[in-house]
Every structure is written in C-alpha cells, then in structure tokens.
Chain A
Amino acid sequence: GESVGLHLPTLSVQEGDNSIINCAYSNSASDYFIWYKQESGKGPQFIIDIRSNMDKRQGQRVTVLLNKTVKHLSLQIAATQPGDSAVYFCAENIGDTGRRALTFGSGTRLQVQP
C-alpha cells in the first residue's frame, strides 16, 4: 500500500505495551474531537470521539483524554497489538454551523514491534 506522510512522527512500542498518542489543537472553540486510524492503502477509520463537555471517554482497549486547559488530546491504546500499527489522526470540529468539516492534525505513525 501507499505510505501516508513519510515524515510523520513515529511512536514505536512493543506488542502488549500500552501506547499513548498525543495531539495538540489550536482552536479553543472546538467542541468535538475524533481519533481516526489509517492503515496503509486505506481510508481513515473512526476509533473514538469525545465532546468538549467531557474529560475522558473509554472504548474497547482505547481511551481518549481531553485537557481543554492546555488544548491537548491523547489516545491511549491498551495492550497494543500488531494490528494497531497505522497512522493515527486527531480531528476537531468547531461548533460553528457555518463550518461542518473536520480539521485534521498531521498524524502520528504507530509501529508495533512483535
């Protein structure tokens, strides 16, 4: 498959370890945040979302934390597996009816070592 973002920051972890991927956002008006996973040659795949009135949300093996004070978002993946290897993007949506699109971060490549 094709490579996305050849010069992305890379996080390398051992299989079974926990992974933490970080994202900083710039717009304090953003009120909805999403994490997407993109595997080589595929489109972004929804992982988990969080609204700005929450600090934490948990899914299956994933947790998203939101710190609005410092405009920081993180994705925690528990017991990382080789299938988790991909590029991870955070995206934000500003609560403005005139703008309904997602603004994506530049992405982080997660490499899981067996």
Chain B
Amino acid sequence: DSGVTQTPKHLITATGQRVTLRCSPRSGDLSVYWYQQSLDQGLQFLIQYYNGEERAKGNILERFSAQQFPDLHSELNLSSLELGDSALYFCASSVAGGLRDTQYFGPGTRLTVL
C-alpha cells in the first residue's frame, strides 16, 4: 500500500458525459501527478500540482482539467467523454515535486466509456 488513495476504483459512463476522479496523496506529500494508462499508449503524464498550484502539463486534453485543493487532495475532471478516454487513470504523489523525488502511485481508477 503506497498511501495514495483514489476513488472510485471503477467508473462506467457514456460518451458525452463528465466524470470526476479523486486522489488523496500520501500524508506529508505536497505534489500530485495524474497519469493515463491505456493499452496502446502506456503510461502518459497528464498534469502535476504542487501545493495547490499547477506545476507542469503533459499530454492533457483540453476536455480534461484538474485541481489541487487546500487539503492537498486532487481531482481530475474529464468532460465530453469519448470512447478513447477509456483507460486506467493513476494519481501519484511526492514530497515536494522535485525532479528526483520518488513518485508513489495510487491503485488507479478504471474508466470505461460506453
């Protein structure tokens, strides 16, 4: 158990809908990262937050957004969902978001878009 929690574990929804994925980092970690894992793309970095502020952006679509709240939990919002958005979404956290801080991953949320 990494100490990172994610909810829900599974999510099934329809195209065009909007969902919110939630992540709580390890106690004491200030930085949160979101990754998408699909069968054909592997693990892709989406976005990083540090202490409530966006720090880095990766291959995140405009239909997706995220935020980190004062209690340091983070939410990833996915809207206008498409079939291709079906994937595992992982949250990771690290102490300070530094280049060499170890990232600890949560168990993931499996999103299925029908």
Contact = CB atoms under 8 A, between A and B. Distances in A.
B90 A44 contact: yes
Interface string B74-96: 00000000000000101010000
Contacts of A2: 88, 110
A51 B107 contact: no
A46 B97 contact: no
B33 A101 contact: yes
Contacts of B44: 104
Interface stretch (A17-25, A56-64, A91-99): A91-99
A14 interface: no
Interface size bucket, B side? 20 to 34
Contacts, number: 68
B11 interface: no
Nearest to A3: B39
Interface residues of A, number: 32
30 contacts: A2-B110, A5-B42, A6-B39, A34-B103, A36-B105, A41-B107, A42-B107, A43-B90, A43-B105, A43-B106, A43-B107, A43-B108, A44-B43, A44-B90, A44-B92, A45-B2, A46-B103, A89-B43, A91-B43, A93-B99, A93-B100, A97-B99, A98-B56, A100-B56, A101-B33, A102-B45, A103-B45, A104-B42, A105-B42, A106-B42
Nearest to A32: B100
A93 B17 CA distance: 34
A38 B4 CA distance: 15
Contacts of B56: 98-101
Contacts of A91: 43
A49 B102 contact: yes
Contacts of B4: 43
Given A100-B56, A101-B33, A101-B48, A5 B105 contact: no
A101 B45 contact: yes
Contact of A4 (B37, B48, B58, B97): B37
Central interface residue in A34, A46, A100, by most chain B CB within 10 Å: A100
Contacts of A107: 42
